[in-house]
Amino acid sequence: GADELRVLLKGFNGQTGSRMSAFVTRSGVPVAWVLPPEMPPDNFATMAATLLGALEVIYSATQGPSPQQVTVQTESGTLVVRVVTPKAFLVALTDGSPADVARQVEETATRARSLLAQKS
């Protein structure tokens, strides 16, 4: 459940230098998270779901497939949103470049898939 997902996130944060990560439902509800105390999980989850939802609307206009991963790069790191199941996704704010964290994102998504599927 949520405890196993949180352990997975702690490992992900340790491997990638992530400051924050969470599993979130499509509707913006946080399922499990590892966030700094000043970051409310509900706000973080809502904003991440809004970002993914907006991009899906943009892509639906092109009749193309929905994005499975969104990567935003800044000078200080990378925001990654990775769809894990039809109902949930991983969101993380990392210190690395997209290439640095790609393998861990995939491994974490794969390991979380069965845990998240049990919850829905």
Mean confidence (pLDDT) of the chain: 92
Give the Cα separation of 114 and 32 in Å (integer).
14
* Residue 26, H or E segment: none
Q: In this predicted structure, what is the pLDDT of residue 40?
A: 95
Q: What is the pLDDT of residue 119?
A: 63
Mean pLDDT of 3-18: 95
Phi and psi (nearest 5°) for 72? Answer: -120, 120
2/106: higher pLDDT: 106
Mean pLDDT of 35-49: 95
Instruction: Tell which wins on pLDDT, 114 or 118.
Output: 114
Euclidean distance between CA atoms 4 and 9, whole angstroms: 9
